[in-house]
């Protein structure tokens, strides 16, 4: 068997380790130890297992194992401080943490390429990349019961358990199982030590304090490498129905945690900017550019997400998010909305779902593509599947609101937008939740309420030009034409191409002529030609 990681190749049949094409010479036991760790890179290898494999159960000193680990790290250019390839699990064992690709996986990927399933575009693809995804991992520690009565322990345990179950529905995260996490219950913990022991990047801790008919719940997201706080929040509630309270708090915490971890991952990649981009780094750089919400950023996002899917052709997130970036490029910027490209975007989402049909995000992003194709009924169905798989996924509620609005089901639509905003009040796309909701209000001729939503959107720094375009329509129909014309002048100064024809082209995804006519008439009343 051959294994490849970084610039190294380990051939277990030849008992040989090469760096690039140069053989490395070392003690046989060191190669044997490396083979054991690499072959089991998806888990921790205990000290007992190492002893049984390397020394065949003979009693050896702790120093002997430490010596072999040190020699192996030196051979690979690693050390006990960096632990970039071999990570110590305190008092338990070791884990090989570099990205590993076996020759069987190379053959499998090559066969998949030959079958024509994987590629998104028709350009020649590079050779198979030995570059697997490593998802960020998080442990939710049992929440502490700070109530004066020990009988309220069940509430703290219930919230911790529910967060584990709900956060695990975000499939781009690895969430430590409840039994492992609850092993730390009642213990004084060192965050960095937990990070090392469980091989996690993030730790969630919290507390529950009940007094009479009120409860206070605090929660913190911590960086496991530094123990620094990434995010913290406090929730104060009156207790009426304890189970309804538990559901509400769990839903809010999970909906806040997921985007905060995503933001932390993007920040980490932006700080490190590795020269040799891995699929995961490439993906998060792409999402970082995606959330800039600019034409240039969108093009960068499309490029990086496509590159990520090529680096690891079994990384479904890269396919689905590439499709989403393409659709937003059509709606906002310079990506031409051709049927061919929409077909490729749908095929990319299908590829993602073929890799994981339990991923709610994949269904939600596929629904976005279907919406752009004018297939509203299917988009509604796909969003409902996404929400069924993950009720805390705010973008799915927003996307369902869009689909319902374009079908003319405005009251249902507004409830979906309100749900998305309540779930994720710090979402990177919050301005879009308000702006899309405002468009539904415009179509329903509720112009005053639409202005209220648009004012909320404008308070968010990265809002887009459609927010101001909607304001023109609302002001015009309210008879406030001077304000409409003032905004139109500002918008056309910043975006000279903005015109009635520009909007007609950008509304390629709308099928109801009365919605298009209402919008264009409002722009015309506001001075847009």
Q: Supply the pLDDT for residue 306.
A: 93
Which whole number is the average pLDDT over 114-139? Answer: 48
For 339-384, what is each residue's pLDDT tens digit?
999 999 999 999 999 988 888 899 999 999 999 999 999 999 999 9
Q: pLDDT averaged over the chain?
A: 84
| pLDDT > 50? residue 119 | no
For 474-529, what is each residue's pLDDT tens digit?
999 999 999 999 999 999 999 999 999 999 999 999 999 999 999 999 999 999 99
| pLDDT > 80? residue 272 | no
Residues 55 and 43: beta-carbon distance below 8 Å? no
Nearest one of 217, 238, 72, 112 to 157, comparing CA atoms: 217
Which whole number is the average pLDDT over 128-138? Answer: 56
CA angle 280, 93, 61 (to 5 degrees): 145
Band of residue 238 on the pLDDT scale cut at 50, 70, 90: confident
Burial class (CB in 10 A: 0-12, 13-18, 19+), 58: exposed
Residues 332 and 314: beta-carbon distance below 8 Å? no
Count of Cβ atoms closer than 10 Å to residue 443 Cβ: 22
Nearest one of 151, 145, 103 to 5, comparing CA atoms: 103
Residues 358 and 171: beta-carbon distance below 8 Å? yes
What does the DSSP 8-state code read for residue 407?
T
Burial class (CB in 10 A: 0-12, 13-18, 19+), 70: middle
For 157-208, what is each residue's pLDDT tens digit?
888 888 888 887 777 777 887 878 888 888 888 888 888 888 788 899 989 8
Q: Which domains does the chain have, with CATH numbers?
A: 2-98 (1.10.10.10), 137-268 (3.40.50.10610), 428-529 (1.25.40)
Which whole number is the average pLDDT over 398-402? Answer: 96
The more confidently predicted of residues 115 and 327 is: 327
Share of the chain above pLDDT 70, in %: 89
Quickly tell me which residue has 């094409």 as its tokens: 21
Which whole number is the average pLDDT over 141-169? Answer: 81
* Distance (Å, whole) CA 54 – CA 36: 9
CA angle 39, 40, 41 (to 5 degrees): 100
The more confidently predicted of residues 93 and 446 is: 446
Nearest one of 324, 292, 329 to 305, comparing CA atoms: 324
| pLDDT > 80? residue 126 | no
The more confidently predicted of residues 468 and 21 is: 468
Is 139 strand, coil or helix?
A: strand
For 79-111, what is each residue's pLDDT tens digit?
888 888 898 987 788 989 887 876 554 444 434
Q: Supply the pLDDT for residue 130.
A: 35
Which H or E element spans position 502?
helix 500-506
* Distance (Å, whole) CA 335 – CA 496: 17
Q: Supply the pLDDT for residue 12.
A: 78
Of 70-84, 104-118, 279-293, 460-474, highest mean pLDDT: 460-474
Band of residue 268 on the pLDDT scale cut at 50, 70, 90: low
User: What are the angstrom distances between the C-alpha of 63 and each of 67, 69, 334?
Assistant: 6, 10, 63
Looking only at Cα atoms, what is the longest distance across the chain? 90
Q: Supply the pLDDT for residue 52.
A: 78
């Amino acid at each position: 068997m051959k294994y490849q990681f970084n610039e190294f190749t380990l051939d277990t049949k030849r008992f040989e380790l090469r760096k690039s094409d140069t053989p490395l010479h070392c003690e046989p036991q060191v190669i044997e130890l490396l083979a054991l760790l690499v072959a089991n890179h998806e888990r921790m290898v205990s000290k007992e297992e190492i002893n049984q494999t390397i020394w065949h159960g003979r009693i050896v000193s702790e120093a002997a194992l430490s010596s072999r680990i040190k020699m192996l790290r030196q051979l690979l250019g690693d050390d006990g401080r960096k632990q970039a390839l071999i990570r110590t699990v305190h008092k338990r064992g070791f884990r090989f943490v570099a990205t590993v690709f076996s020759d069987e996986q190379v053959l499998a990927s090559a066969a998949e390429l030959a079958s024509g399933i994987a590629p998104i575009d028709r350009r020649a693809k590079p050779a198979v990349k030995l570059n697997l995804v490593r998802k960020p991992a998080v442990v939710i520690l049992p929440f502490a019961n700070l109530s004066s009565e020990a009988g309220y322990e069940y509430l703290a345990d219930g919230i911790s358990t529910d967060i584990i179950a709900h956060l695990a529905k975000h499939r781009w995260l690895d969430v430590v199982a409840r039994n492992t996490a609850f092993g730390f219950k009642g213990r004084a913990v060192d965050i960095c030590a937990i990070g090392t022991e469980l091989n996690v990047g993030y730790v969630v801790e919290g507390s529950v304090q009940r007094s009479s008919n009120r409860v206070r719940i605090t929660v913190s997201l911590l960086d496991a490498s530094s123990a620094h706080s990434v995010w913290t929040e406090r929730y104060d509630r009156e207790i009426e129905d304890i189970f309804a309270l538990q559901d509400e708090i769990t839903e809010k915490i999970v909906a806040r945690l997921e985007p905060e971890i995503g933001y932390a991952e993007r920040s980490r990649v932006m700080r490190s900017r590795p020269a040799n981009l891995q699929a995961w780094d490439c993906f998060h750089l792409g999402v970082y550019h995606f959330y800039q919400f600019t034409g240039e950023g969108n093009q960068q996002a499309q490029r990086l997400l496509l590159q990520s899917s090529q680096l690891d052709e079994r990384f479904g997130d890269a396919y689905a998010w590439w499709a989403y970036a393409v659709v937003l490029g059509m709606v906002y910027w310079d990506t031409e909305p051709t049927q061919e490209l929409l077909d490729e975007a749908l095929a990319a989402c299908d590829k993602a779902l073929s890799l994981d049909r339990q991923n709610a995000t994949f269904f939600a992003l596929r629904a976005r593509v279907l919406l752009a194709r004018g297939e509203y009924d299917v988009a509604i169905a796909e969003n409902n599947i996404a929400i069924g798989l993950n009720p805390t996924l705010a973008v799915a509620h927003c996307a369902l609101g869009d689909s319902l609005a374009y079908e003319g089901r405005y009251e249902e639509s507004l409830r979906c937008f309100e749900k998305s905003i309540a779930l994720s009040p710090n979402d990177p796309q919050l301005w879009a939740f308000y702006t899309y909701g405002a468009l539904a209000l415009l179509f329903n001729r509720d112009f005053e309420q639409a202005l209220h939503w648009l004012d909320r959107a404008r308070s968010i720094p990265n809002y887009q030009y459609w927010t101001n375009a909607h304001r023109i329509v609302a002001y015009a129909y309210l008879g406030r034409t001077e304000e409409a014309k003032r905004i139109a002048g500002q918008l056309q100064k910043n975006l000279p191409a903005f015109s009635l024809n520009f909007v007609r082209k950008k509304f390629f995804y709308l099928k109801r002529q009365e919605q298009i006519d209402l919008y264009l008439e409002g722009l015309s009343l506001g001075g847009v030609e």
